[in-house]
A and B are shown apart, each in its own frame.
Chain A
Amino acid sequence: MGKRVLLIEDEPNIIEAISFILSRDGFTVHTHEDGETAMEKVRATPPDMIILDVMLPGRSGFDILRDLRADPITAGLPVLMLTARGQTKDRDLAERLGADHFMTKPFSNSEVRDHVRAVLEA
C-alpha cells in the first residue's frame, strides 16, 4: 500500500489525469470534489499529502489550507496547491498560508510526480 495522496479538485479530466500519473507511480490516490466537505474528508481518512485546487465549488482552496494549518492534527500535512488563475497574488497568498508548493495549470506530469515523490519518499 503506497502513501496516500488526497486530491481535492473539481475538474473531472484533471482528476483522472493526476490519478493516473500518481497511481502508476505507486501512490494511493483519493479524490474529493467539494470544497465545503473537504475538511471532513481529511479528518476522516488523513492522507500523507494533499493536492489542493484553488477554485473549488463551495469553498476556496485557500480557506481549506487555512483550516488545515489551524488544526494541529493536519497542520504538518504537506500541501501542493494548483491554480488555473496564474497570478502572483495567488502564489504569495498560498505561501503565506503555509502551502509547501504551488503550481500553475497547465503543469507537466513529471513536475507533479517529481514533487510528490520528493515529499513522500524523502
Chain B
Amino acid sequence: MSNTRIQTVIVDDEALARGMLREFLAAHADVEIVAECGNGFEAVKVVAEMRPDLLLLDIQMPKLDGFEVLELIGGDVTVVFVTAYDQYAIRAFEVHAVDYLLKPFSAERLAEALDRARARIAAKEKVPEGLVSAGRARHTPLERILIRDRADVHVIPVEKIDYLESQDDYVSVKTAGKSFLKEQTLAELETLLDQDVFVRIHRRYILNIARLSKIELAVKDNRIAILADGTKLPISRSGYARLKELLL
C-alpha cells in the first residue's frame, strides 16, 4: 500500500499557504507529503533527490519561479500549479501542468486537481523530452540562463555572459572567468538569446557583443575576436559577416 501512495512535494514561499495545502491533503489517504520547500532552489534539489510523483508548485517565488523550477527538473513529475495570478494559465498548460489552482481555492477544487493528477500518474504519462523547455521557449529573448549542477542551481543573467562555447551536447557558459555546463545545444540556445546582443561568431562560439574589444586579422583570412578580458576567440567567415552586419 505504502509504495502506491503518491509522493508529493509542496513548493510555496509562504508558510501559511504550505500549511493550508498540508491541511487539505490530509483528507487524501493516498497522498503522502514527502517534502515542503520554501523556494525554487530547494525544490530543484528535493525533486532531484526524491523523484516525487507530484509537485504542488507556486509560481511567484524568490530566485526561481515555478516555470524555471520545472525547466530545471525536466518532465518526470506531474505538476499542479498553485498561484494567485491567473495570467500564467496558458503557459502552465503549455508545459503540461495537469491543473492550475487559483488562490484562494477550496478543498473540493484541490480534490479535483488531485483526481487529474492521479489519472496522469496512473497512465504513467511522461511529458516528452524537450516539451518543457519548448513551452519556455515562447518567452524569448532569454533573460537568464539556469544551470543545474547536481543539486545546486546557478542563475546567470544573460548580460553577465561573456561567451558560450559548444561542447558536443552541452554548452559551456563563460561568465567572469568561470564556466558552467548546461545540457543544451549551442544552436538551441542561439535561437533563445537576443539576436542583437549575442552573435554566433563561429561554429563553436556565441559572443556577447558587449564584451568584444577588437577584431584582429590573423593569418590569411582568419580573424580573431579579442574580448575585454583578453580572451581570444576564432571568427569564421560567416561569423564575421554576421558580426559586421550587427556592428555597422
Partners in one complex: no
User: Which residues of B come within 8 Å of A, CB atoms?
Assistant: none
